Amino acid sequence: MQFKLSIHVAVAVIATAMLPACDGSLRRETPAAAKLEVVRADPARNRLWVLDHEVISVYDNTNGRRLRRIVLPEWIVLPQRYSCLPDLALDSSGAAFVSSNVLPVLWRIDPQRYEVTRIELVLDTDNDKDVGFTGLSFAGDGTLLAAGAMAAALWQIDTSAASARKIASYPSVARGCDPATLVRAGQDQTVIAASRPK
């Protein structure tokens, strides 16, 4: 009898929890997980690049037709609760660069052939830490800037030399996921400038 009573109680509890959702007046849903979706437009080539948690899709921006679906080999991504999300940036030639938020690696996608090149970056410092990048941004002179995905730091990346140099750290910034936020934060807070290699 005890077993039957427990089953009936469990069914009643589940039904009670579901009733408010059935009449539409109250919805009980778990919070949606943060979803990775980075969109970058390339107006010069009329393309739209979309990065999600599995692939990059390239679309014709005129008719919305998908031109290519690209899988990044050995791409590792941490969820947003642990780190800033990875990013996607386009250079002046239309090449796409994608970061990992846990490894010092970039993936370059050729804009014509869609070939993927994995670029393992040599760091000038912090080799004992998990360093990934977010907030990728090309400066007017072609310099690639990035924010550290786990620690608030500003990095300069040389893709041709496969190297990354830490420009500054922002110890008072809890989460600086883009270079502009870090630069603004540095105007009002403590900034530790990284020393230049000799």
DSSP conformational letter for 155: E
For 38-74, what is each residue's pLDDT tens digit?
Answer: 999 999 999 999 999 889 999 999 999 999 999 999 9
Q: What is the pLDDT of residue 194?
A: 47
pLDDT tens string 14-27? 333 333 444 443 33
Q: Give the confidence band of 158 by pLDDT, cuts at 50, 70, 90.
A: very high
Side-chain-facing half-sphere of 79: CA atoms under 13 Å: 4
Indicate the pTM of the whole model.
0.74
- Which CATH number applies to 33-193? 2.130.10.10
78 neighbors 89 (Cβ within 8 angstroms): no
Domain boundaries, given as residue ranges, for the chain: 1-30, 33-193
Instruction: Please compute the mean of the pLDDT values over residues 149-169 and round it to a whole number.
Output: 89
Kindly report, residue by residue over 76-87, the tens digit of the pLDDT.
888 878 888 899
* Predicted local confidence at residue 114, as pLDDT: 97
